[in-house]
Structure 1
Amino acid sequence: MTIDDEPTRVCRVVINDEDQYSVWAADRDIPAGWRAEGFTGPRADCLAHIDKVWTDMRPRSIRNLTDA
């Protein structure tokens, strides 16, 4: 895979236990501590999805402390 292939590479949105999002190549195993969020597509679409759904960048543990 080269940088030229990046726009067409299928990616997936992953999320960890702290509700932090990332983009991961769909053809690679998801790393420990992360799980598929359910959205797949080109990297740009995944990033746009994350931008729409990740409205509070604070980790869950911090939100739980400050919002309690």
Structure 2
Amino acid sequence: PALIKQVRLQGVLVGSRSQQQDMVRAINASGMRPVIDRHFPLSEIVEAFKYQETNQHFGKIVLDI
């Protein structure tokens, strides 16, 4: 059914839980912050997905809740 509906699942592999926790600690210690491209209020979730589909964003698309 997923192939028929052309469903796509995206994710990030981070290893084990302890490896993920180590990664989060390292990111927090480094002061690294994500690049935010654009914010959308939750009421504009459809527009946010449409914007993502354009592939014109550089950085994260954020839904404000």
Pick the TM interval, shorter chain.
under 0.3
More strand per residue = 1
TM-score (normalizing by structure 2): 0.24
Higher Rg: 2
